[in-house]
Structure 1
């Protein structure tokens, strides 16, 4: 078996190590022995953008916010699905993630960060939500989901106040899309309490129909 090779290491805001590893053509971002991201399992992250674009339709000049660059699967899917006149802001809290995207992870990212539609917001996505509204769609792939928080500070995105802020930052008829590693009925109820129309979708981690089942929520703001 091909051994893992460490390509980079940093410390996440709030503490905790984050290590970039490679084995052959496979990349993984780890925290200790916990896998945070892996290049072999990308389908659900891609579907977050693909389904979002389908639900939004051909809205001219759509403004999209993606919370979390990660390995770039959501961004690259968004660039394929959203129109040429769209504007896509990617909020990434960890600067090294962006540096790795232009360095050792360039085989995955390609030239996606240089697309003229893309803007990088180095900082917390919650700041981008409140500082640069409105957005036609907000796509959150932050942590392991609303109830699987690896970084406790991310809870403010998913509590009642955080969801209210996201709703305020979305245009009428736009939506908030959220990725999670697992379903969460309490969060579904909390999301519905915002007054948005909520749909829950289950997708596989891999595009061959295999792998873990992940959960996507799409909460649409009333109006148009």
Structure 2
């Protein structure tokens, strides 16, 4: 059996280990030895973009002249790739990524899968915590978040703030009228559902397969819009 080849690794602020491996032509991102994502399982990440940006594909005057999208978590770039494919131009896609090494991996190793996404003139990568990218007066038409498996399975303990009422209120206030918030979850999250509803969002839950040939749609995309 072909072994996993370590390409690079880096430490998270809390000491956890993030590592990029290559195996049989595919890349695998692991956290403390557990697989987070791979270039072979990307369907639900693409669905996050499709569902979160669906309202931006409508005909004018509903569609903004210059849509602005914020993505929380660059990962392997598949959500960003799909957003760029569907959103058209002109547009601005901000991407908040906490780890500089993840950005570098997208510029180097992952280019063979996704191309030079970070060189697209619509892309603006921000080396920062998503929490710190909101509240400065910038408004978005869509905010897409793919950072943790669930609020109960965090990549770092500090990510707990991304599911608090104060953060969800901050997101609510950072959306343009008609804007959309979408979360990727590895499995159903009643805790997130309740928090979004309490913050005043109307919620849709979409089962999602990790791969087109998967037997089970275990992942979830939560699409939240403000109550009218």
Q: Same fold (TM over 0.5)?
A: yes
Write the distance in 1 (CA, Å) between the matches of 2:34 and 2:19: 10
5 Å matches for 1:1-224?
1-58=1-58, 59=63, 60-131=65-136, 133-210=138-215, 213-222=218-227
Write the distance in 1 (CA, Å) between the matches of 2:187 and 2:137: 30
Write the distance in 2 (CA, Å) between the matches of 1:209 and 1:220: 29
In structure 2, list runs of 5 or more residues that go unmatched: none
Aligned residue pairs: how many? Answer: 223
The Cα offsets for residues 132-174 of structure 1, whole Å up to 9 and x where unpaired, read as 5201110000121222212111111111111111111111110
Write the distance in 2 (CA, Å) between the matches of 1:31 and 1:211: 23
CA contact (8 A) 2:50 2:86 kept: yes
**Secondary structure of 2:149's aligned partner:** coil
Bigger Cα displacement from structure 2, 124-133 vs 151-160: 124-133
Q: CA RMSD of the aligned region, Å?
A: 1.5
**Secondary structure of 2:29's aligned partner:** strand
1:69 Cα shift? 0.6
Write the distance in 1 (CA, Å) between the matches of 2:179 and 2:122: 19
Change (3 A) 1:161 1:20: same
CA contact (8 A) 1:172 1:222 kept: no
Write the distance in 1 (CA, Å) between the matches of 2:112 and 2:186: 25
CA contact (8 A) 1:13 1:94 kept: no
The Cα offsets for residues 16-39 of structure 1, whole Å up to 9 and x where unpaired, read as 111110012111111232112211
CA contact (8 A) 1:72 1:108 kept: no
**Secondary structure of 1:91's aligned partner:** strand
**Secondary structure of 1:126's aligned partner:** helix
